Structure 1
Amino acid sequence: MKMMLLTAGTRGDVEPFFALARAAGARGHEVRTAIPENSGADTASLDTVSLRMDFAQLVSDQGVSPRAAARTFKTVIRPAVGRLLSAAVEHIVAFAPDVVVYHPKVLSAPAAAQRLGIPSVLVETVPALTPTREFPSPIIPAASLGPLNRFSYAPARAATLMFRRELQAALDLLPPGRTPAAGTRATLIPVSPHLLPRPADWPASVRLTGHWAAKPMAMEIDDELAAFLDGGDFVYAGFGSMKAGDARERGAAIVEAARRNGLRALVATGWGGIEVPAAVMGGDVLVRESVAHHMVLPRAAAAIHHGGAGTVHAVARAGIPSVVVPFIADQPFWGAVLHRRGLGPQPVPYRKVTADSLARALGEARSCRIQAARTGGLVRAEDGTAVAVGVLEGLAGP
């Protein structure tokens, strides 16, 4: 079976698709994955093609500011999305797959698949498109809208309207004269039911598979990092691709909060969300651009992170508490989910990060350790990619 996977966004959007690609490849399927440029994810052993859009550069240029995005919508974002949508269509046509599996940002993928007579499958890395009464859309910053929860999903589903010209231009690249298929046949949600139980009102075509994580590989770590991991209790801190506010002030607050709790600090600076000033450095602080989560998180006492879906699952899998510092989009949602599940304290919004607020949160995280360890065992027992590959195999043929 030939599977065309298409994803867009930052590393957290790419890595689940890579896990699925590797799992499908191990089952003998031919898989090609279309990805954004400079994702930072490991492409080893994978057949990948570029979607000609660099999300890393966009974040580097304008951070996570909605105002900056609004200012550059016509000059930067619209042309970039146009390139992505056209590249997606070109790759689908060239590969001629049996099934198209796509991220919601790749708006042209389902329409192209339908025009070519190919079944398609939507992947909601964040469950923001399938309405439910049980919680509002994860991109809406609200605890609950009660009976109006289902209506909160409408804005996210309207993205096609914002890029209708670019979408039409992409679809004009398709050859004419094919019989359309029935459209999107299923929705896969790579989220652990131990974090977010499946809502009762989701349709049967929506599958909560469990998280998609690649099989952990043993990796060599350098002597400095190995010595740090062996040196006593520490907190991991990293905000991935998030970049907003005063990164130096945030780095100093993290180090001070760790010290007040008797912890050392392993800091991953990522794309610039944290900078540790030289004045607060010491033998109890190690700074890296990035580290392999599966190698360091199980050794940590807790993790301070932005609450992206991928990091949320990595920390949960490691069996340690989370202190979520949300910046945008679905991150407040995941912070609230972890708090409700007893896996971390109330989230600390990035604008409210101080040494005092983080020190309190780290102190509260201690009471979450037993529940976090129990949940970690359950998440590690999941095999979400196997469930997803089984669904895709069931769609083979007309």
Structure 2
Amino acid sequence: MEEDPPPRYSILEAAEWPQDGEPQDAAKLNDDGRVEVDLDSKLGRTLTKLIPVPYEEKQVPLTPNDTVCDVQLNIVIQVVGSRGDVQPFIALGNELQLYGHRVRLATHGVFESFVLESGLDYYPIGGDPSELMAYMVKNPGLIPQMKSLRSGEIQRKRAMVAEMLKGCWDSCINDDPISKAPFVADAIIANPPSFAHIHCAQALSIPLHLVFTMPWSSTRAFPHPLANLKYTTTEQNMANYLSYGIVEWMTWQGLGDIINKWRASLDLESVPGTGGPCLAETLKVPFTYCWSPSLMPKPSDWPSNIDVCGFFFRSLPEYTPAPNLDTFLQNGSPPVYIGFGSIVIDDPISMTNMVLQAVKSLGVRAIISRGWSKLGEASSSDEQIFYLEDCPHEWLFQHVAAVVHHGGAGTTACGLRFGKTTTIIPFFGDQLFWGNMVASCGLGPRPIPYRSLSAHNLAEAIRFCLQPEAQSAARDVARRMSHENGVTTAVASFHRNLPLNDMRCHILHSEPAVWRFKKSSKPPIHLSKIAAGVLVEHHRLKLSDLQPYHAHPIFIQNRRWDPVTGTTSSLIGTSTNILKATGDIVYRPYQEFRRVPISQSELKVAESSGALSLSNSSTAGTYSLTSSRAEKSSKLRSTGVAMKGSAKSLGKVVGFWYKGMLIDMPLAMSEGLRAVPRLYGDEVKDHGTIQDWKSGAAFAGKNFVHGMANGFSDIFTQPYKGGQEEGAKGVMKGIAKGTLGVTTKVSSAALGLVAYPAHGMMKSLYTATHSQTKKRILQARIQEGKYLSEYSPKARSDRQSILRNFEAAHRKLVSSASSSSS
């Protein structure tokens, strides 16, 4: 198709848009948890001017055999969510294993047996999905309700996110919890709610691939599933496109501080507030969406690094039903399945009664899955109602007439796979998206939001699903989906986006390179963990000869739109840091006075001198000082610590001031000036990334030469180009562009001679003083190399070829270096 029309589900949503009222803000929360985005507001109109419509790339169809990957990787798959979120990734992991990859699935502890039974490695990241589901039911959108703020749920959720961030990082470099075999990730696959993915990949300099069940990449074809658009003057395609950035921005406001605090523990610099929301899109991280293109094809404005591959299905499980379930299915017409899986409902008794009333009013048979909410009682099953504890959907859905559920992607896909009409009761997240998708294709009624559910509308929805027309449409979709192989195509998408040529070991081509061996001016030899382990073991080289090799470095930069907003944001950031550090001059001593306990040495001194006596609660470990000597000692110690904290905060004030005035603001001004041509459609030349003082100086030199040459030449070239394209009108535009160009480009060139080298020196200083994480990564890779060289079958079988290939490569480099010298 040359142009993909917006999917029909957006038409259904349009009927739900509010038609009255003029909200004052660009975004607010609706009762159903979705964000109402008002693009007629002042902020909304400003955003339409700042964010350009994306360029459309020519679509290249992806086939399962698109890329052959012969490099065997350690892949960690990071998943946050319910069982339905984890299950597709198990299918993906099993498929990746067929290519020789070692796959570790990192998720919540409750899914440990589920993952291990599938044959994948498992790593716990913490977090309680049942608590998360309960929170999301109460707070279905991005903004929490006031009662959740009062009860402290927000702080608990933020603490859980911090725990999962740490768990995701540990899953990249920690040994296997069961076998104790070393593991260091060579690539990361993740769903976006895991949040740690990009930052872990940056710390390790490895490829990242995101996989999700609902649209998360900006497109003009349809709005973000969590956004309810309201606009009159903005074009629809731009409104759709802007909704993604607004939802990302709101998410970052709630979690950005937690993520940046965690990044500091990895020795990574903070992500700027302007860059955090759309980080994956800015870095062009590959993305695979696991829904059927038969339902919604890939939008034409999604670039080649984004693929729509089809649903992920695991192999049909071998399952023998319990005798009572088998008897129920055999003794009557096919029942309707009703269940809400991992959703935790506040009032399960009321929900059970509502479901029973709807089912009995229709006179149909039903299987009610008790789920995490524990609907009904298993002992209450009869000839019409069967309460189900647990059963694979892949088996059960082949024996039912229709399905009613919460709209999780996995459950929805499973129902459609077997041609079952579907009623979706969305609670939060992508569930409304799937409900609208099903309804737009005639496979079920319009979704019924959980808060609007009643026995009457549930009965009407089930009645719709039992109609012959709907059942025929569901069978037709199942037939089309049977020709898709989503998980195989997704693996091809993952392989296609890997930088395989840069990742390959020069000695053992089937292994990824993590080291480089380089001496003098010779080109480096890239070595894998196995190859390096074998070579060190046989004394062909020493560990000191190896340097870390970064196969896929990731650089996060603070992008500036123009000199005004760039300098202003830098000034605000500097001022905020100075004010916070100034407050800490007083606040940190107060904290230290409250926090510093009496040390054990002080207790011993007090006890030996008779200054300490135990109170009646001594068994609880509480002490009572009967003389002021120990108290005085403790206060002196607290005073010293407090003064140290105050002095440190004062030093931060001075440091922030100098850094802001001498580095950050000149850099923001220079970058803003350099970006001005982008505002009127010209290309801004990429001079690379600044990583240290050398690259900073090189960047400044290139920017100076380019800025001076192009700045002055624009006075002549821009009017000429404009005249060629638009005649006299174009000449006038060209004169304006040329005048603006000579001002901004020359100014950026001159200012950049100071700003960019200074920025590079700060990068070098930061790297030199923040090296603990790098040391931990190097040590983990050394340990895995030793382990593999001793226990890996590949190391034993390829030992001689590794030694032989290294000697040959080394001789070739020596010969090449000698020829160059002569």
**3-state SS of 2:189 partner:** strand
Which runs of structure 2 are paired with 1:67-78 in the superposition (5 Å)? 67=145, 69-71=148-150, 72-78=152-158
Name the structure 2 match of 1:52: 126
State the Cα distance separating 1:23 from its structure 2 match: 1.0
**3-state SS of 2:210 partner:** strand
Name the structure 2 match of 1:247: 348
Q: Does 1:33 align with 2:105?
A: yes
Measure the CA separation in 1 of the matches of 2:346 and 2:257.
Answer: 34
Q: Which amino acid aligns with 2:123?
A: V
Name the structure 2 match of 1:112: 200
State the Cα distance separating 1:141 from its structure 2 match: 4.5
Structure number with greater Rg is 2
Contact 2:407–2:435, Cα closer than 8 Å, also in 1: yes
Q: Which amino acid aligns with 2:261?
A: A
Which segment drifts farther, 236-245 or 74-83? 236-245
State the Cα distance separating 1:209 from its structure 2 match: 1.1
1:329 pairs, out of 402, 426, 429, with 429
State the Cα distance separating 1:321 from its structure 2 match: 0.3
Name the structure 2 match of 1:65: 138
Q: Which amino acid aligns with 2:356?
A: V
Show CA shifts across 1:274-303 (max 9, x none).
Answer: 43698x853211102332101111211111
Name the structure 1 match of 2:248: 157
State the Cα distance separating 1:74 from its structure 2 match: 4.4
Q: Which amino acid aligns with 1:378?
A: R
State the Cα distance separating 1:363 from its structure 2 match: 1.4
**3-state SS of 2:193 partner:** coil
Name the structure 2 match of 1:258: 359
Show CA shifts across 1:226-274 (max 9, x none).
Answer: 1122222210001112233532232233233333434211000211174
Q: Which amino acid aligns with 2:241?
A: R
Measure the CA separation in 2 of the matches of 1:146 and 1:131.
Answer: 13
Contact 1:3–1:99, Cα closer than 8 Å, also in 2: yes
Which runs of structure 2 are paired with 1:1-398 in the superposition (5 Å)? 1-39=73-111, 42-43=114-115, 44=117, 45-60=119-134, 62=135, 64-66=137-139, 67=145, 69-71=148-150, 72-94=152-174, 95-127=183-215, 129-141=216-228, 146-147=236-237, 148-158=239-249, 159-174=251-266, 185-231=285-331, 232-272=333-373, 274-275=375-376, 282-365=382-465, 366=467, 367-394=469-496, 395=498, 396=500, 397=503, 398=551
C-alpha distance 325-74 of structure 1, shift in aligned 2 (>3 A): closer
Measure the CA separation in 1 of the matches of 2:102 and 2:423.
Answer: 40
Show CA shifts across 1:26-74 (max 9, x none).
Answer: 22211111102214872211101011111223335x4611125544354
- Structure with greater helix percent: 2
**3-state SS of 1:236 partner:** strand
**3-state SS of 1:216 partner:** coil
Q: Which amino acid aligns with 1:103?
A: N
Name the structure 2 match of 1:179: none
Could you say what the CA RMSD is over the residues aligned between the two structures, in angstroms? Answer: 2.6
**3-state SS of 1:282 partner:** coil
Measure the CA separation in 2 of the matches of 1:166 and 1:48.
Answer: 25
**3-state SS of 1:188 partner:** strand
C-alpha distance 393-69 of structure 1, shift in aligned 2 (>3 A): farther
Q: Which amino acid aligns with 2:214?
A: V
C-alpha distance 291-216 of structure 1, shift in aligned 2 (>3 A): same
Measure the CA separation in 1 of the matches of 2:110 and 2:404.
Answer: 25
**3-state SS of 1:38 partner:** helix
Measure the CA separation in 1 of the matches of 2:294 and 2:329.
Answer: 28
**3-state SS of 1:251 partner:** helix
Which segment drifts farther, 336-345 or 288-297? 288-297
**3-state SS of 1:172 partner:** helix
Measure the CA separation in 2 of the matches of 1:29 and 1:320.
Answer: 35
State the Cα distance separating 1:188 from its structure 2 match: 0.9
Contact 1:34–1:48, Cα closer than 8 Å, also in 2: yes
Measure the CA separation in 2 of the matches of 1:143 and 1:23.
Answer: 42
**3-state SS of 1:105 partner:** helix
Contact 1:108–1:171, Cα closer than 8 Å, also in 2: no
State the Cα distance separating 1:184 from its structure 2 match: 5.5
Show CA shifts across 1:86-110 (max 9, x none).
Answer: 1111222333222111111222221
Which segment drifts farther, 32-41 or 77-86? 32-41
Show CA shifts across 1:112-151 (max 9, x none).
Answer: 2123210111112221x20112221112246999331111
**3-state SS of 2:299 partner:** coil
Q: Which amino acid aligns with 2:348?
A: A
Measure the CA separation in 2 of the matches of 1:39 and 1:125.
Answer: 19
Contact 1:111–1:171, Cα closer than 8 Å, also in 2: yes
Contact 1:132–1:150, Cα closer than 8 Å, also in 2: yes
C-alpha distance 380-259 of structure 1, shift in aligned 2 (>3 A): farther
Show CA shifts across 1:139-178 (max 9, x none).
Answer: 22469993311111124323344223332333334378xx
Contact 1:192–1:208, Cα closer than 8 Å, also in 2: yes
C-alpha distance 124-47 of structure 1, shift in aligned 2 (>3 A): same
Contact 1:4–1:92, Cα closer than 8 Å, also in 2: yes
Q: Which amino acid aligns with 2:94?
A: R
Measure the CA separation in 2 of the matches of 1:256 and 1:141.
Answer: 32
State the Cα distance separating 1:319 from its structure 2 match: 0.7
**3-state SS of 1:339 partner:** helix
**3-state SS of 1:197 partner:** coil
Q: Which amino acid aligns with 1:387?
A: T
Contact 1:238–1:268, Cα closer than 8 Å, also in 2: yes
Contact 1:343–1:372, Cα closer than 8 Å, also in 2: yes
Contact 1:257–1:358, Cα closer than 8 Å, also in 2: yes
State the Cα distance separating 1:83 from its structure 2 match: 0.9
Contact 2:378–2:389, Cα closer than 8 Å, also in 1: no
Contact 1:86–1:170, Cα closer than 8 Å, also in 2: yes
**3-state SS of 1:346 partner:** coil
**More contact order relative to length (CA 8 Å, sep ≥ 6):** 1
Q: Which amino acid aligns with 1:19?
A: A
Contact 2:336–2:364, Cα closer than 8 Å, also in 1: yes
Measure the CA separation in 2 of the matches of 1:63 and 1:390.
Answer: 34
* TM superposition score normalised by structure 2: 0.45
Gaps of at least 5 residues in structure 1 are: 177-181
